[in-house]
Structure 1
Amino acid sequence: MSYFANIPAISYEGTQSKSPFAYRYYDADKLVLGKSMRDHLRWAVCYWHTFAWPGNDIFGAGTFERPWKPGEPVTQELAQIKLDAAFEMFSKLQAPFYCFHDVDAIADYKNIAGYSRELDVIADKMAAKIEQTGVQLLWGTANLFSHPRYAAGAATNPNPDVFAWAAHQVRSMLEVTNRLGGANYVLWGGREGYDTILNTDIGHELDQLGRFMNMVVEHKHKIGFKGAILIEPKPHEPTKHQYDRDTATVYGFLKRYGLENEVKVNIEVNHATLAGNSFEHEIATANALDIMGSIDINRGDPQNGWDTDQFPNNVAETTLAMYHLLEGGGFDTGGFNFDAKVRRQSVDAEDLIFAHVGGVDVLARSLLAAAAMIEDGELKGFVDQRYAGWRSELGNKVMNGSAALDEVADYALKSDLEPKPISGRQEHLENLINRFA
């Protein structure tokens, strides 16, 4: 049984194509700044929204009728149907990567031994699919937020037995990710926070989370996993407050627990905007702190205040983020994972394809625009010139630590300094961006 039988393989046809089943901008082998589009973008399809979400929301039941029956109890037979459909879709899209949580793919289980057994079953089958199709695993992760046991968190739970269950899941999925050749392992603390501070010991929970992260890193080295460990920031939802609210907060946490050289961030667009930040701010911050890892590419709806996880469709917004990504050297082990879902009314197989084709083309157009900005050099040149004073004798002495506060203050007095404001040229630079995007 083939769910995508009536859909052709998606290929590049150029900007003149009117086919909805073709890439108009994504030419996988096209060289951009000396590297192929495929290698720049390293894009992935996510297993959860695409194959596990039934199309429900808080006001209504699922709307999707798929052969693998999302939202219903998962037998091994249904897990197999889902796996077959997933890799068929990956192949038709020419997707280089995919991502998954453990529970997205496995059959239902009754206890911890059953969990381990079902995960081993699906991991063997995934290994065969990877070998058959060439689609690689960008990252794996354990779902530590959906089951009722995690209502009060996983690593931050007040019950150490829940902590232990979470440790078993993460160990299992980290080992499966390693076994499948995954490039990264992601830790998203969906409930690592609190709903009310009235029943919460913040310091204790942070110490629990810090120890958990260190245990994960220790196990990574023990099993020889060469990929990156990533944390995905999010400020709230489903909890009132989460400890990994944005990239800067994550960095402070990593520094406190000695993890800044071991763990990087997996930035999500919609999580950045929920935190009150822009997508490009999160990337630029991660670059500045040297913790840029990977990206979940999606968007929110500006008229909604929650995580709508829509596919990206705004080239101008994505271009500036892409510019900062390229300026920081681009991806190492990371990539663009489409952590996005079609709308509840988009019930057909074709809708899953249209969403990914459009999203990939948005990334490709943004890549071309950002590369043109880098080759043009005007934006970087302006920023470099704005900070040129720091290359002076005074600036160098301040930044290399050889000047004390007294010396700098005396310099200001002796020179009778009276600095005047200099235009930041914001409007000019905004116009400049629009020339490319």
Structure 2
Amino acid sequence: MATRRVLLITIILSYLLCALSEDIIADMTCRADIGQDEISKVWEGEFFPNISYIRYEGPASRNPLAFKWYNAEEEILGKKMKDWLRFSVAFWHTFRGDGTDIFGSSTKRWPWDDGTDSLMMAYNRMRANFEFLKKLGVNFWCFHDRDIAPEGKTLKETNANLDAVVELAKKLQEGTNIHPLWGTAQLFKHRRYMHGAATSPYVSIYAYAAAQVKKAMEVTYELGGENFVFWGGREGYQSLLNTDMKQELDNMALFLKLATAYKKRLGFQGTLLLEPKPQEPTKHQYDWDVATTMGFLQKHGLSDEFKLNIECNHATLAGHSCSHELEMARINGMFGSFDANTGDAQTGWDTDQFLVDIAEATSIMLTVIKNKGIAPGGFNFDAKLRRESVDVEDLFIAHIAGMDTMARGLRNAEKIVEDGTLQTLVDNRYASFESPLGKAIKDGKIGFEELEQEALNSEEAPLPSGKQELAEMVFYSFI
């Protein structure tokens, strides 16, 4: 009881300091009112009292806290916008982001946070998360286990912290359609993972990582999550001089097989996702891009158990366009989910900016339409505010801009599909494969000998134009 009284006194003093510091924190909202009962109910009320529910007002609106292009219930090509897009908020960037980067310390402290990693702060952040989701009109969120609950002195204590926060999240979910798009385990930040997790040369760390994934998968299942993600923040190598690459790859494959087996024992029906992640932080990342990740899964017999979570910023770090990675995954039946962000063309690291390029969004949505949607995946905003964006309303503005960009891309893609000109250009380019010879090739009914005779007996005809500039003209005419 004495500890509880000290905690409540500390909270009250923090609240009073917040109320007296409005000149310092400008437009940032102070923490909500103090409640009673358990610690998880210490703060009640609103964390964003000056922001109401975000509504669709149409392209003519100049209200920064309104949608101009995203109209959730509007039908596009026979499906509601919200079902095409399935937006999700990234807990780590939105509620844990403090402006820190590799060259600078934090630049902001949100009103639900006192800078500590206490259990009380975890409750505050979770309440802020649900208020934000409701006001933004988004039903999905994504999390790492260590984002939502603090690490304890032992694994047992850490798991208890996670259970406590998940219990609060379950209560907040009641009566809503809100649940996780996906969950994952944070196997990169703690010093224990400095050598990797599933690729660690130390079996004790391998075991700890397995225990952490097991628990993270359980709480994702408990919260009704639709997917579970694996991404190798430190699964790679800087130099082969001190690395057994084959053993690390084999160990990683075994780890994923163990996770697959446990998913089935748990009864979790969600999709397992693997995320290509180049140069984060190693220069030789095992899951470099879609092609290498698919090759790894195929070699180890995991292709039927996993799909890919693709991030635009990672595509460019791997030397590809976002559309290239999405199409590569789609045509191989591996497109699972999407992290909607972008990098800076002049910066060679993962800046995780909100995607606001209309042309890129249109290209992305053309792939999603070809894929007939993205469910049970979605568009997770794995993106963060810039260091100098310190107002609470900036969180809403950034997500609104990202949602409007993808919605505008969807609207443009619909027009391109219905117009048909671009697809006709593509069809015409490959029309010769609809000839008898072309069909024989596609059907596997002809060999090199027959093709040699065809080449010997035919005069070499001039090749038609590829019409690249015309295709670009047609595409950009819809932007």
How many Å apart are 1:418 and its aligned residue? 1.0
Distance 1:420 1:385 in 2: 16
What amino acid maps onto 1:22 in structure 2? A
The residue aligned with 2:424 is 381
Retained in 2: the 8 A contact 1:294–1:335?
yes
- Deviation string 1:34-72 (CA, Å, 9 cap, x unpaired) is 0000000000000001111221122221111223437x4
Distance 1:253 1:17 in 2: 48
What amino acid maps onto 1:9 in structure 2? Y
* 2:99 counterpart of 1:27: no
1:308 to 351, 359, 378: 351
The residue aligned with 2:379 is 336
Distance 2:164 2:253 in 1: 32
The residue aligned with 2:88 is 44
How many Å apart are 1:420 and its aligned residue? 2.7
Distance 1:101 1:167 in 2: 15
* 2:255 counterpart of 1:255: no
Distance 2:422 2:158 in 1: 52
* 2:474 counterpart of 1:432: yes
- Deviation string 1:392-433 (CA, Å, 9 cap, x unpaired) is 2222222222222212212222x2341432211111011111
Residue 144 of structure 1 aligns to a residue in which SS?
A: coil
Distance 1:201 1:399 in 2: 42
Residue 436 of structure 1 aligns to a residue in which SS?
A: coil
How many Å apart are 1:247 and its aligned residue? 0.6
* 2:121 counterpart of 1:78: yes
How many Å apart are 1:131 and its aligned residue? 1.7
| Match runs of 1:13-412 below 5 Å | 13-69=57-113, 72-412=115-455
Residue 133 of structure 1 aligns to a residue in which SS?
A: coil
- Deviation string 1:208-239 (CA, Å, 9 cap, x unpaired) is 11111111111111212111111111111211
Question: Which blocks of at least 5 consecutive residues in structure 2 are unaligned?
Answer: 1-31, 33-45
What amino acid maps onto 1:269 in structure 2? C
Retained in 1: the 8 A contact 2:113–2:124?
no
The residue aligned with 2:6 is none
TM (normalized to structure 2)? 0.89
Identity of aligned residues (%): 46
Retained in 2: the 8 A contact 1:67–1:81?
no
Question: Which blocks of at least 5 consecutive residues in structure 1 are unaligned?
Answer: none
What amino acid maps onto 2:334 in structure 1? I
Distance 1:24 1:144 in 2: 38
How many Å apart are 1:205 and its aligned residue? 0.8
How many Å apart are 1:302 and its aligned residue? 1.2
Distance 1:108 1:210 in 2: 27
Aligned residues: 435
Retained in 2: the 8 A contact 1:284–1:325?
no
1:10 to 30, 54, 60: 54
Residue 229 of structure 2 aligns to a residue in which SS?
A: strand
Between stretches 392-401 and 272-281, larger displacement belongs to 392-401
What amino acid maps onto 1:8 in structure 2? S
Distance 2:117 2:271 in 1: 31
The residue aligned with 2:43 is none
Distance 1:339 1:23 in 2: 20
Retained in 2: the 8 A contact 1:73–1:108?
no
Residue 352 of structure 1 aligns to a residue in which SS?
A: helix
Distance 1:362 1:199 in 2: 45
The residue aligned with 1:420 is 462
Distance 2:206 2:442 in 1: 44
How many Å apart are 1:3 and its aligned residue? 2.4
Between stretches 379-388 and 286-295, larger displacement belongs to 379-388
Between stretches 20-29 and 393-402, larger displacement belongs to 393-402
Residue 224 of structure 2 aligns to a residue in which SS?
A: coil
TM (normalized to structure 1)? 0.97
Between stretches 141-150 and 117-126, larger displacement belongs to 117-126
Retained in 2: the 8 A contact 1:63–1:345?
yes
Distance 2:378 2:103 in 1: 34
- Deviation string 1:239-293 (CA, Å, 9 cap, x unpaired) is 1211111111111011100111111110001000010100111111011111000
Distance 1:41 1:332 in 2: 9
How many Å apart are 1:379 and its aligned residue? 1.4
Retained in 1: the 8 A contact 2:182–2:229?
yes
Retained in 2: the 8 A contact 1:75–1:108?
no
What amino acid maps onto 1:418 in structure 2? E
Distance 2:323 2:459 in 1: 35
Retained in 1: the 8 A contact 2:47–2:112?
no
What amino acid maps onto 1:225 in structure 2? F
Distance 1:215 1:396 in 2: 44
Distance 2:171 2:428 in 1: 54
Residue 44 of structure 1 aligns to a residue in which SS?
A: strand
Alpha-carbon spacing, 1:417–1:262, altered in 2? closer, same or farther (3 Å): farther
Between stretches 396-405 and 193-202, larger displacement belongs to 396-405
Retained in 2: the 8 A contact 1:87–1:133?
no
Distance 1:22 1:262 in 2: 40
Residue 262 of structure 2 aligns to a residue in which SS?
A: helix
Which protein is bigger by CA-based radius of gyration? 2
How many Å apart are 1:183 and its aligned residue? 1.0
Retained in 1: the 8 A contact 2:343–2:349?
yes
Residue 250 of structure 1 aligns to a residue in which SS?
A: helix
Distance 1:369 1:398 in 2: 36
Residue 117 of structure 2 aligns to a residue in which SS?
A: coil
Residue 409 of structure 1 aligns to a residue in which SS?
A: helix
